[in-house]
Amino acid sequence: MTNVVGGESPSRLEVCAFSSCSLELSMELRVIFLNLITCIIHLDYHPSRVLTLVYQSFAFGTMLILAYNESKINTRRRNIFGYSLFVAITFMLLVLDLATSGRGGLGSFICICVIFAFFGVSDACVQGGIVGDLSFMLPDFIQSFFAGMAASGALTSALRLITKAAFNNGLRKGAMLFLAISTLFEFLCVLLYAYFFPRLPIVKYFRSKAALEGSKTVQADLEAAGIQIKEDHHEQNERLSNKQLFIQNVDYALDMFLIYVLTLSIFPGFLYENTGKHKLGTWYPPVLIACDNVWNLISRYLLLVKFLKIESRKGLTIAILSRFLLIPAFYFTAKYGDQGWMILLVSFLGLTNGHLTICVMTAAPKGYKGPEQNALGNIVVLCLLVGIFAGVSLDWLWFIGKKNAF
């Protein structure tokens, strides 16, 4: 067996390099939301809401199955399959746009719904797999991964604004450019995960440690790195069941659920369709999305300032529950406020979403063995997806009392 346990000390920079792979996990979703929903299909179908609901329905269902069978699944195959599926279906969106010449209609909308269903499947495969993998490493790696996802959102928003200006509101051209870039970057993610990531010394160290603690999900990754682990540590192989882990961390699970119930009940549907018309005109929704993404990115680095980290479990729950005051704030601002107040609220939404997500994700796996941390990472991601699914469903309630909403 190759001895990596006593090898190089953990280097956060090496894992940060891989966090760039998470860019595409988030970029795909934001690219399609910000572009295709406005240039391939008609707004009469409420695409920002419908597509989110389709996406998250399949993501939730897939993640439920994967989390239940987490200890039996080959993580390497799971992640490579998820990234490869991202490549294929992103390319299919590009083909669909070319085949229809950017025309809308019910047929195009149904095709995009089907494609979004596959996006949900790939998201569940990759997000749960990677978070489970990083959960038995260091908390800083989780922070780097989620910061990478937020960085993709901020980058995509910037590209969205640039192309909107460059193409004189030519949204289809911007969408085509984004999809081509996304397909290329996602293909690079497949290569990075398959060949580069498993060979990082720090990754080999933690995966070997997890294998010695009884984890079977890392065996294929270790073999890809040329490491053989003998299963001669049976006394260490006992681990808590998923049910026991959930019960012990039910507050963290509820916290993650509530964070994303609130966020997705506002973002992106409400921001696109319920904020009214203002001086910014057609620039208003992209600016709001950009503000949310930028502050979401900034907030995910706040944990680097130690005293800003919320470590109290009760404190986390109180902070998360207090965010629900944003619902009446958004309602009255959309009805009576100016665009400046809405931008301020959206920025605060992104700031709290990112910060509280990182606080929960880095705190939950502490104190457990490798296999348990992997399982717990999948459980927390499952709760995140349940929260997103509930949020996009509740998002339709903003239509209550509105004429011609459907």
DSSP string for 201-227: HHHHHHHHHHHHTT--TTHHHHHHTT-
Contact 385, 256 (CB under 8 A): no
Neighbours of 230 (CB within 10 A): 8
Report the pLDDT value the prediction gives residue 67, as an integer from 0 to 100: 87
How far apart (Å, rounded) are the C-alpha atoms in residues 375 and 128?
9
How far apart (Å, rounded) are the C-alpha atoms in residues 307 and 200?
31
Report the pLDDT value the prediction gives residue 234, as an integer from 0 to 100: 45
Q: Which of 308, 316, 299 is nearest to 259 (CA)?
A: 316
Place of tokens 């100016």: 338
Measured N-to-C along each axis, helices 370-394 and 250-266 cross at an angle, to the nearest 10 degrees, of: 30
Kindly state the DSSP code that residue 8 receives in the 8-state scheme.
S
Q: What sign has the CA pseudo-torsion 142, 147, 148, 153?
A: positive
| Helical spans, DSSP H, in 240-338 | 242-248, 250-266, 269-273, 284-299, 313-322, 326-336
Contact 300, 356 (CB under 8 A): no
Report the chain (406 residues): mean pLDDT per 10 consecutive residues. Answer: 43 48 47 47 62 84 88 85 88 82 72 87 86 81 81 77 68 70 81 83 83 78 71 60 90 94 82 66 81 90 84 92 92 83 91 93 85 88 90 79 55
Give the pair of three-digit tokens for residue 104: 């809308």
Give the pair of three-digit tokens for residue 131: 């978070």
User: Is the bond into 201 cis (omega within 30 degrees of 0)?
Assistant: no
**Share in percent of the chain as helix, strand, coil (round to 5):** 80, 0, 20
Decide: pTM greater than 0.75.
yes
Q: Which of 308, 318, 290, 293 is nearest to 358 (CA)?
A: 308
Report the pLDDT value the prediction gives residue 34, as an integer from 0 to 100: 42
Report the pLDDT value the prediction gives residue 39, as an integer from 0 to 100: 47
Amino acid making up residue 367: G
Domains recognised in the chain with CATH numbers? 16-399 (1.20.1250.20)
Give the pair of three-digit tokens for residue 268: 């992106």
| Phi, psi values for residue 163, rounded to 5° | -70, -30
Question: Cβ neighbours of residue 232 under 8 Å, at least 6 residues apart?
Answer: none
Give the pair of three-digit tokens for residue 343: 């931008």
Q: What sign has the CA pseudo-torsion 373, 379, 382, 384?
A: negative
Neighbours of 330 (CB within 10 A): 23
Report the pLDDT value the prediction gives residue 314, as an integer from 0 to 100: 92
> Alpha-carbon dihedral of residues 302, 378, 224, 185, nearest 10 degrees?
-60
Greatest CA separation found in the chain?
69
Measured N-to-C along each axis, helices 106-135 and 75-100 cross at an angle, to the nearest 10 degrees, of: 160
Give the pair of three-digit tokens for residue 397: 């309630």
Place of tokens 């208003």: 284
